[in-house]
Amino acid sequence: MEFSNCYEDAKRAEAYAKLEFPATYYLAYRDLPEIIFEHVKGRKAVDFGCGTGRSTRFLQKLGFNAIGVDIAEDMIKKAREIDPKGDYRLVEDCDLSQFENNACDLALSVFTFDNIPTMDKKVKNFREIGSLLKSEGKIVNLVSSPEIYTHEWASFSTKDFPENKYAKSGDKVRIIITEVEDKRPVEDVIWTDEYYQEVFKRAGLELVKTYKPLAKENEPYKWVNETRIAPWVIYVLKKGKNLLQIQNHGLTEKNELQRFLMKR
């Protein structure tokens, strides 16, 4: 499947820089503080796929020392422009080698894996993220549910893309974000819970808990399907036993870690 990163685009970066937490996006972030503080002890974080820095600034407001990372140069430029005192770094695909291993309490990823194609790339990225975590560190991974691509929402529309209904894990799907000026469809990769579970297993991670936030009628938004269908899925992950064994024996170099995982 050919797939290009639609977020490596100056026009999209400009539009996303103005986007905060409206409607369906509010529902994505609403429960994150409670979830994070339930599972995470320390305050050192990396925001994987930070885009224009919205989620990094969100972590900063929660008291985290957060570094934002992304592969899209236009997005990083805009993040630095908005938050010149923040730490935003451009990285290569599947390469977090510039960061210290076993140093982070939290790795947050919001919407990022919607735009990473193939099982192999998802696994490689999760392995890289997992290597950054302390032994008690957690990954909080927020992704779009498969249902988001087949229904209408307060912040999204898919009615022009009926082919989404027939998409399987790994297929490209399209969706329009109604909250931004740039109305060009976004191309995502649909991925089911079953396939995410396999990704986590192959990456040496263990699922701690899954959340599927629903909207409430008394919230100040005109909900469409959000009260009955969860548009987002939030996974909390930790290092699996094999990764912890490697860490406890001091084998934390990335080449040793990857060699071990490739044998699984």
* Strands 87-90 and 65-70, sheet pairing: parallel
As a whole number of angstroms, the distance between CA 52 and CA 75 comes to 5
| Residue 61 confidence (pLDDT) | 97
Residue range 182-210: mean pLDDT, rounded: 96
Confidence of residue 145 (pLDDT cuts 50, 70, 90): very high
- Say if residue 37's pLDDT is above 70: yes
How many Cβ atoms from other residues are within 10 Å of residue 23's Cβ? 21
Confidence of residue 264 (pLDDT cuts 50, 70, 90): very low
Residue range 61-88: mean pLDDT, rounded: 96
Write the single-letter amino acid at 19: L
Residue range 114-129: mean pLDDT, rounded: 96
- Say if residue 18's pLDDT is above 90: no
| Residue 242 or 127, more confident | 127
pTM of the model: 0.88
Radius of gyration of the chain (CA): 18
* 10-262 CATH: 3.40.50.150
- Say if residue 29's pLDDT is above 70: yes
- Say if residue 257's pLDDT is above 80: no
Place of tokens 């820095």: 53
Residue range 70-98: mean pLDDT, rounded: 94
Please list, in sequence order, all residues whose beta carbon lies within 8 angstroms of the beta carbon of residue 36, skipping any fewer than 6 positions away.
Answer: 62, 106, 108, 140
Residue range 62-72: mean pLDDT, rounded: 97
> Strand runs (DSSP E) across the chain, as ranges?
44-48, 65-70, 87-90, 104-110, 133-144, 156-157, 172-177, 186-189, 205-211, 232-239
Mean of the per-residue pLDDT values of the chain:
90
**Helix (H), strand (E) counts: the chain:** 9, 10
- Say if residue 102's pLDDT is above 80: yes
| Residue 186 or 241, more confident | 186
